[in-house]
Amino acid sequence: MSAALSAFGQGKIETTVFGQNGAKPALAVIDFKGTGSQQYMAAFNSTLFSDLQNSGLFEMVSKSVFPLNNPQRPEDLRPEDNRQGFALQDWQGAPTKASHLAFGYTAAVNGALALYANLYDTRQPNLQAAQLMTPRYSGSLDEAGAIKVAHEFANDIIQKFGGAASLLGSRIYYISTRGGFDEVWVMDWDGNNQKQLTNLKSLSIMPTVSPDGSRIAFTTYAKGTPRIMMINTDTGRPLPFYNQEASLNTTPSFTPDGKQIYYASSAAGLAQIFAANIDGQGFRRITHRDAICVEPKVNPKNGNLVLFVSGPGAQQIYRMNAEGADVQRVTNGEGEASNPSWSPDGQKMAFSWTRGYAKGEWNVFVMDIGSGQYIQLTHGEGKNENPVWAPDGRHLVFTSTRSGRPQIYTMLADGSQVKQLTQQGSNRYPVWGVK
């Protein structure tokens, strides 16, 4: 075992693991008002606040400590003003203590909804220096349009502060039983617009999404033995994929360039890791171990580094190079470990682990691969499995039975801000992809 891996132990992972450097900006978000669009502002304001809060980038200032007057337009601001709230120092000082201020309004313009948004840094000495953003957006003149422009404004603020990939437009794919069978479903990143993608009337499990978001590969029992199937993410239509002769072909995973797929197959007896072209042709065996090998996951930044789950004994997470050499155990052998998922930067792994709990009691952990340090994100609230990173590197999606049946949840990568996304049926195996 390498020196880095021998240092495996519980400890603090630097906050940069989660994309946060130092103190978070204290963001005050004033409720926007609308001209000819006021009936849509409740949906707008709740969406804007929720997106910003769920980003994990900000300390959201409570509206209960806002000054008496709230600006809606840049011209409402004055360097000094006796009417409390129209001077930036009113927001910077106690009790608000906001470092940044977002405000604006909407209007009905030519049958569309126009958003006039503003973001200011309250700490700057003058209004010109304080003005950070004055974006304009357009949407349909209805609640859906209001939600759309709220998402867009929140996304631009997050991009300005986070410097990371956005969740806007990303989608979560998962397996749901709500139609009577275990089928592939898809929803927006925030849980909206849930819809069924497959209609195989069979058992499907363990989907994975290609790096460009154009296709999903998953395991299905539709033809009897478990086989890999690939579909188009927009239409749900099958794409060509050749399954080699085996009693089991399962747990597919795409390479970073989207041109190959790694998977587990029992073609050689015990399930081992294979690699193939995107259509399943040209397959070759990667692992040669006297133990079952499943769940290969290729590092998104280094295609020569692969995580997988194997024995002997209780299942643990191992790593190897792309040709199956230099195998090292990553987890320490305690309990059972499964479901490895690389962070977008290729430096961290989210995974499920029974460490410290009775057999079968799974929880979600995050490990820094370089140092071996890890943190525990869930703590015994049912079974918590199948964690997968979001494109922004700050969120995880996972399955939990904390509410009874398995459902899909998201949380920040420090375990906070847990949000339930699904309610109907049983829902498992989420994966987060770009649109």
Phi, psi (degrees; rounded to nearest 5) at 296? -70, 140
User: At which residue do the structure tokens 């072209």 appear?
Assistant: 277
Q: Take residue 161 and report the two structure tokens written for it.
A: 């502060």
Nearest to 151 by CA among 70, 46, 25: 46
Q: What is the pLDDT of residue 23?
A: 84
The answer to whether the bond into 300 is cis (omega within 30° of 0) is no
- Enumerate the domain spans of the chain: 3-14+167-433, 20-162
pLDDT tens track for 183-192: 999 999 999 9
Contact 418, 410 (CB under 8 A): yes
Residue 218 β-bridge partners: 229
Question: How far is C-alpha 235 from the chain's CA centre?
Answer: 23
Report how far apart, in Å, the C-alpha atoms of 182 and of each of 58, 214, 222, 247, 343 are. Answer: 38, 21, 11, 20, 27
Burial of 367 (0-12, 13-18, 19+ CB in 10 A): buried
Report how far apart, in Å, the C-alpha atoms of 386 and of each of 96, 329, 378, 429, 431 are. Answer: 40, 20, 12, 6, 9
Contact 20, 413 (CB under 8 A): no
R_g of the chain, CA atoms, integer Å: 24
Report how far apart, in Å, the C-alpha atoms of 359 and of each of 33, 46, 150, 380, 405 are. Answer: 54, 41, 45, 12, 19
Q: Tell me how far apart the alpha carbons of residues 116 and 74 are, in angstroms, rounded to a whole number.
A: 10
Sheet holding 284-285, edge to edge: 249-254, 260-265, 272-277, 284-285
Say which CATH topology domain 20-162 has: Rossmann fold (3.40.50)
CA torsion angle 281 304 377 193 (round to 10): -40
Q: What is the pLDDT of residue 435?
A: 78
Packing angle of the helix pair 143-162, 41-54 (nearest 10 deg): 30
* Beta-strand relationship, 316-321 and 305-310: antiparallel
Q: Tell me how far apart the alpha carbons of residues 233 and 216 are, in angstroms, rounded to a whole number.
A: 6
Q: What is the pLDDT of residue 412?
A: 94
Q: What is the pLDDT of residue 125?
A: 86
Establish whether domains 3-14+167-433 and 20-162 are of one fold.
no
Contact 228, 218 (CB under 8 A): yes
Q: Tell me how far apart the alpha carbons of residues 222 and 233 are, in angstroms, rounded to a whole number.
A: 19
> pLDDT truncated to tens, each residue of the chain (435 aa)?
333 333 334 544 543 333 344 689 999 999 999 999 999 999 999 999 999 998 889 999 999 999 999 999 999 998 776 668 899 999 999 999 999 999 999 999 999 999 999 999 999 989 999 999 999 999 999 999 999 999 999 999 999 997 667 788 899 999 999 989 999 999 999 999 999 999 999 999 999 999 999 999 999 999 999 999 999 998 999 999 999 999 999 999 999 999 999 999 999 899 999 999 999 999 999 999 999 999 999 999 999 999 999 999 999 999 999 999 999 999 999 999 999 999 999 999 999 999 865 555 899 999 999 999 999 999 978 999 999 999 999 999 999 999 999 999 999 999 999 999 999 999 999 999 997
pLDDT tens track for 289-315: 999 999 999 999 999 999 999 999 999
CB burial string 407-423: b at 16+ within 10 A, e below: bbbbbbbbbeebeebbe
Multiple choice CATH, 3-14+167-433, 3.40.50.150, 2.120.10.30, 1.10.40.50, 3.90.110.10: 2.120.10.30
Contact 363, 380 (CB under 8 A): yes
